[in-house]
Chain A
């Protein structure tokens, strides 16, 4: 009976890559929207970046002992409305990982407990280290951030080298983190999101309360297991459709038992 429960992927799902690319263009287009904070993970130091990175803002404000009204407001609004959809559909670093995952290499799954490291990154490197040791600490989040390395530090080093200037390399720690994340992208789907992303931790906290989410309707379930098989992130929608690891890629929505639904729908 399993085949009867299968439906084609949603129209939106087919265009996910295109929508991600459009959002990447929005965040990195030279719009010069300075003073605005995006809800996605990217480096504001990138010469193209039009919006500030919320994680960078949180870390900087923590170092300044100031309250980040705008960053928290941006994350609060987008998280409460869309939750993990932001990670799956709008994040440029997520897009990069999705593209790397298309390379036909053996893929491994992260253990469920790896997701808790995201909260440690958020509490430690984004809040505690900047608060107590300031932005000059080598463990200040931006100093180890792979998005900063890929968008700014490494291109800057290459550009400087080509221009005959002194090459300013990122720290060994930052290079190590970046190389590890980039290598892992080819063998694990979204390793950064699944194990270390502090923004993913924040949106994960919103996953159970967001207005729009993927919902599982038990009455429609024929226990075919399709939703679990199609999920690349090890989420079993039949058990917990609003799992904090879910990026709302909508692959599970191929099954009639799962669909995007607003919270007010009974």
Chain B
């Protein structure tokens, strides 16, 4: 069998190995789209409802959201929380319903 075929087969098996391990392991896979709610202490500076323009919020609110993003990243749930439409829920949590587009922070 030509060397090229052997190399291509080896690269394919290696790629498959990465794929299988990537899906089998816990943690971040790709930039995922999930609904996640994390309970955080109530923040008086942040009203209930959608928080799409979080960059323009007061520093305290921004800190809460950055902590929220860091929490999700630590849990390896999603990476692009800052791209999402974030909602402040009545129970004092932050809800990410859309992790792709819809926010001024979206790099697109």
Listed in ascending order, the chain A residues whose CB lies under 8 Å from chain B are 34-37, 43-47, 49, 52, 56-57, 60-61, 63-64, 66, 68-81, 135, 140, 142-143, 145, 148-149, 151-153, 156, 168, 170, 206, 208-211, 262-264, 266
Q: Is the CB of B108 within 8 A of A66?
A: no
Decide yes or no: A69 and B31 within 8 Å by CB, A61-B79, A152-B108, A209-B11 being known contacts.
no
Could you say which of B13-21, B37-45, B57-65 contacts chain A? B13-21
Total contacting residues, chain B, CB less than 8 A = 39
- A81→B106 CA distance, assembly (Å): 34
Q: Give the shortest distance, in Å, between B72 (CB) and chain A (any CB).
A: 11
Task: Identify the interface centre among A35, A44, A75, A143: most chain B CB within 10 Å of its CB.
Answer: A44
Of B18, B20, B22, B28, the residue contacting A64 (CB under 8 A) is B28
Q: Is the CB of B25 within 8 A of A69?
A: yes
Please name the 10 residue pairs, one residue from A and one from B, whose CB atoms are nearest each other, closest first.
A76-B15, A69-B22, A73-B18, A73-B19, A80-B11, A148-B108, A77-B15, A142-B107, A70-B22, A263-B5
Task: Identify the interface centre among B11, B80, B108: most chain A CB within 10 Å of its CB.
Answer: B108
Q: Is the CB of A74 within 8 A of B15?
A: yes
Q: Give the shortest distance, in Å, between A132 (CB) and chain B (any CB).
A: 17
- A205→B23 CA distance, assembly (Å): 25
